């Protein structure tokens, strides 16, 4: 019998200790001495940092002058500020710091300088402000944004640079914003401000080059009162109000934000700046609904650690074959709240991926149509300027993003229209061969390669049609006619699961190989009007539906069997399905048990997981 090395030309590595993921993670840090929130902090590294001031409700006055320094293992009280305040901005190091602005009984522009042993008065800023960003040093600093209730407008856009003795106005932010996250280790010529309030929560990110601000890629989650630390090219941003307190953490690599491991505590900073670098930082004075002494530390594995990468396969301690990847994490993945639709709807057409999708038309209630298209950017839904040329519900859709989606079929009555969305408007394309409604499409298809199957004309049908970017072609039919079925996959590798045929709700599943349909293992829960997504016929998620009561049940298909996994937070039917893989997808809208229609969406994301691989 041939060995693995003889077949593949390589061996499988054996590790005495499992490698670790090269990703930052949060752990509990040492408690600060004085519980508070709306403190400010700075420092070049996690082990050489400080926090200053803050609010201590409900005492009056509730302003703190307390100054604490962190040496990497504990917090020590140092000299107090001359003026107690909260909502300040600060920059510098534990031996040379600047604190300015904030609220000290009234909003102020006063500045204090720390020389390593005491605070002295510095030159006041030109603009009174609180909840603003600050970067740089005590001889080359910059402050930006904030709130000044005594001015009009109250939200501040202006930028000031400090040279060690005086302040000079510089280019304004594009968006007047308070309570954003700053590149705390940025410089006077390379700073960054992300999120905040305008007064609505925003995801905007802007970068400063010493003269002017430029808008760059948005955060994935709009928020204010968050922590951030790092530089203009490598920053960590976490927590905040969305408007509820969140654990979400994002990493900036100089061009885009990526969601990474969450904070341990859903918390907001209010005014506090995080401290450190993108690989080693700390946040303190976490507000979790009340003031606290909590801190959390962000760290990466040491450079000597063996690092896991996507697709790794190895023998662990000479006994267990293990693999590392997102697919391995599907059984333990959970649903999280996504953006809120502007209009409640069910049985809408949908297409795209979790971070770039559309939801079009649908039904608003038992007999009312809902018109309008909404675009999802991974965080929030916005209303598109144009909608379908032919209003409808019960349609099917597929596509690669919010600028490339096909919506086809629908009712009432059964329709054959096909339309393509380019990010702004819909263009009519060639019609389906068989007009129908309540049918399924392979959601991972594209505007030049799609597949749709099943549905209802005046009865359940089993027709399958493929889309080549220009026209539809009839292919081999499903073995069982059905409607309100769930689709997953692509034009050449798809699944059709459950549905009604026409009066029986079933568990039937069929697999498509590009030529014909084959019956495979049934689902655990029978349902119709469910939702689903997946990249092919060996990896899919189905959820929701009517059984006949509504269900939150979620199941994962691995190519041979169905496994029940974590449920939706709310049972529903008729939700729009979005996603091109079993590791990342979402559902939007639908008809929950609690109301006629909903605006809620839920997102499904599987993280990389190390799992034992079983072989036979």
For the stretch 15-33, pLDDT in tens is 888 988 888 999 999 999 9
pLDDT, tens digit, 9 for 90 and up, residues 419-454:
999 999 999 999 999 999 999 999 999 999 999 999
Q: Give the residue-averaged pLDDT of 247-260.
A: 90
**What confidence score (pLDDT) does residue 365 get?**
64
Are 183 and 232 in contact by the 8 Å Cβ rule? The answer is yes
Are 214 and 204 in contact by the 8 Å Cβ rule? The answer is no
Q: Within a domain: residue 349?
A: yes
Q: Within a domain: residue 346?
A: yes
- Report whether pLDDT(412) > 90: no
Q: Give the residue-averaged pLDDT of 184-209.
A: 94
DSSP labels for 392-412? Answer: -BS-EEEEEETTEEEEE--BT
Cis status of the peptide bond prior to 61, with omega within 30 of 0: yes
- Report whether pLDDT(491) > 70: yes
Pick from 42-51, 534-543, 554-563: least confident: 42-51
> The tokens 């280790």 sit on which residue?
185
**What confidence score (pLDDT) does residue 599 get?**
95
> The tokens 């006994």 sit on which residue?
319
**What confidence score (pLDDT) does residue 129 get?**
96
Beta bridge partners of 43: 49
Residues 200 and 70 in one domain: yes
pLDDT, tens digit, 9 for 90 and up, residues 361-377:
998 766 677 899 999 98
Q: Within a domain: residue 315?
A: no
Percent of the chain clearing pLDDT 90 (strictly above): 78
- Report whether pLDDT(233) > 70: yes
Q: Which residues contact 401 (CB under 8 A, 6 or more apart)?
A: 352, 353, 356, 357
- Report whether pLDDT(614) > 80: no
Q: Within a domain: residue 99?
A: yes
Q: How far apart are CA 543 and CA 497, in angstroms?
A: 11
pLDDT, tens digit, 9 for 90 and up, residues 571-599:
999 999 999 999 999 999 999 977 789 99
**What confidence score (pLDDT) does residue 373 get?**
97
Band (pLDDT 50/70/90 cuts) for residue 4 is low
N-to-C CA span, the chain: 14
pTM for the whole structure: 0.66
Share the mean pLDDT of the chain.
93
Residues 260 and 343 in one domain: no
Q: How many CB atoms lie within 10 A of CB 106?
A: 8
- Report whether pLDDT(39) > 90: yes
> The tokens 């990474």 sit on which residue?
260
Residues 476 and 566 in one domain: yes
Are 571 and 554 in contact by the 8 Å Cβ rule? The answer is no
Band (pLDDT 50/70/90 cuts) for residue 13 is confident
Q: How far apart are CA 550 and CA 238, in angstroms?
A: 36
Residues 270 and 410 in one domain: no
**What confidence score (pLDDT) does residue 271 get?**
64
Q: Within a domain: residue 107?
A: yes
Final residue belonging to a domain, choices 254, 289, 307: 307
Residues 264 and 160 in one domain: yes
- Report whether pLDDT(120) > 70: yes
Q: Which residue has the higher pLDDT, 44 or 80?
A: 80
Q: How far apart are CA 114 and CA 216, in angstroms?
A: 34
Are 51 and 285 in contact by the 8 Å Cβ rule? The answer is yes
**What confidence score (pLDDT) does residue 420 get?**
98
Tokens of 58: 């409900």
DSSP labels for 528-539? Answer: BS-EEEEEETTE
Residues 69 and 156 in one domain: yes
CATH code (residue 594): 2.120.10.80
Residues 282 and 385 in one domain: no
pLDDT, tens digit, 9 for 90 and up, residues 162-179:
999 999 999 999 999 999
pLDDT, tens digit, 9 for 90 and up, residues 292-322:
999 999 999 887 888 888 888 889 988 899 9
Residues 519 and 401 in one domain: yes
Q: What is the total count of domains within the chain?
A: 2
- Report whether pLDDT(235) > 90: yes
**What confidence score (pLDDT) does residue 613 get?**
83
Of the candidates 321, 325, 323, which has an alpha carbon nearest to the alpha carbon of residue 310?
A: 325
- Report whether pLDDT(36) > 70: yes
Final residue belonging to a domain, choices 292, 307, 322: 307
Q: Within a domain: residue 610?
A: no
- Domain containing 350: what range? 334-604
Residues 300 and 363 in one domain: no
Residues 276 and 351 in one domain: no
Q: Within a domain: residue 421?
A: yes
Are 499 and 486 in contact by the 8 Å Cβ rule? The answer is yes
Are 138 and 113 in contact by the 8 Å Cβ rule? The answer is yes
Q: Within a domain: residue 370?
A: yes
Of the candidates 277, 302, 294, which has an alpha carbon nearest to the alpha carbon of residue 43?
A: 277
Tokens of 479: 């073995």
Residues 233 and 357 in one domain: no
Pick from 42-46, 65-69, 236-240: least confident: 42-46
Final residue belonging to a domain, choices 307, 323, 357: 307
Q: How far apart are CA 595 and CA 92, in angstroms?
A: 53
Residues 272 and 360 in one domain: no
- Report whether pLDDT(413) > 90: no
């Amino acid at each position: 019998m041939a060995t693995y090395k003889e077949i593949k030309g390589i061996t499988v590595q054996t590790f005495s200790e499992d490698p670790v993921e090269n990703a930052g993670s949060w752990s509990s840090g040492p408690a600060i001495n004085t519980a508070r929130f709306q403190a400010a902090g700075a420092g070049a590294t996690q082990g050489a940092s400080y926090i200053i001031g803050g609010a201590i409700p409900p005492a009056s006055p509730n302003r703190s002058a307390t100054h604490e320094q962190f040496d990497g293992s504990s917090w020590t009280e140092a000299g107090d500020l001359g003026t107690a305040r909260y909502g300040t901005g600060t920059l510098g190091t534990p031996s040379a710091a600047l604190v300015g602005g904030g609220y000290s009984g009234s909003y102020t522009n006063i500045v204090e300088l720390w020389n390593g042993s005491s605070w002295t008065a510095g030159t006041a800023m030109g603009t009174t402000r609180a909840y603003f960003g600050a970067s740089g040093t005590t001889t080359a600093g910059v402050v930006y944004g904030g709130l000044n209730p005594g001015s009009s407008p109250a939200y501040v856009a202006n930028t000031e640079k400090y040279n060690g003795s005086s302040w000079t106005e510089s280019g304004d932010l594009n968006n007047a914003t308070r309570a954003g996250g700053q590149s705390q280790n940025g410089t006077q010529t390379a700073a960054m401000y992300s999120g905040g309030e305008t007064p609505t929560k925003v995801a905007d990110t802007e970068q400063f080059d010493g003269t002017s601000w430029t808008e760059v890629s948005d955060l994935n989650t709009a928020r204010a009162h968050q922590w951030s630390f790092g530089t203009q090219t490598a920053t960590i941003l976490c927590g905040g109000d969305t408007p509820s307190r969140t654990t979400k953490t994002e990493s900036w690599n100089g061009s885009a934000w990526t969601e990474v491991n969450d904070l341990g505590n859903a918390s907001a900073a209010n005014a506090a700046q995080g401290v450190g670098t993108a690989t080693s930082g700390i946040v303190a004075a976490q507000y979790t609904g009340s003031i606290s002494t909590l801190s959390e530390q962000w760290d990466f594995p040491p450079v000597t650690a063996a690092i896991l990468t996507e697709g790794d396969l190895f023998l662990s301690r000479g006994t267990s074959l293990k693999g590392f990847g997102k697919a391995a994490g599907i059984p333990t993945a959970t649903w999280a709240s996504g953006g809120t639709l502007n209009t409640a709807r069910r049985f809408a057409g949908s297409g795209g991926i979790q971070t770039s999708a559309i939801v079009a038309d649908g039904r608003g209630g038992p007999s009312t149509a809902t018109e309008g298209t909404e675009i999802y950017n991974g965080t929030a839904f916005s209303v598109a300027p144009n909608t379908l040329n032919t209003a409808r519900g019960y349609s099917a859709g597929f596509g690669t993003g919010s600028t490339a989606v096909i919506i086809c079929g629908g009712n009432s009555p059964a329709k054959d229209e096909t339309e393509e969305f380019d990010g702004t408007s819909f263009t009519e394309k060639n019609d389906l061969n068989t007009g129908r409604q309540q049918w399924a499409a392979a959601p991972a298809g594209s505007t030049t390669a799609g597949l749709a199957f099943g549905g209802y004309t005046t009865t359940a049908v089993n027709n399958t049609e493929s889309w080549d970017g220009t026209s539809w072609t009839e292919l081999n039919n499903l073995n069982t006619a059905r409607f309100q079925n769930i689709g997953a996959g692509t034009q050449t590798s798809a699944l059709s699961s459950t549905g009604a045929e026409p009066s029986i709700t079933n568990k039937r599943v069929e697999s498509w190989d590009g030529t014909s349909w084959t019956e495979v293992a049934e689902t655990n829960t029978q349902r119709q009007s469910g939702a689903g997504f997946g990249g092919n016929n060996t990896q899919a998620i189905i959820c929701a539906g009517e059984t006949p009561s509504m269900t939150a049940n979620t199941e994962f298909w691995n190519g041979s069997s169905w496994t029940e996994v974590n449920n939706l937070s709310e049972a529903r039917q008729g939700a729009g399905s979005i996603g091109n893989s079993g590791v990342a997808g979402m559902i939007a809208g639908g008809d929950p048990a609690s109301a006629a229609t909903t605006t809620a969406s839920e997102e499904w994301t599987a993280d990389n997981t190390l799992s034992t691989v079983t072989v036979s």
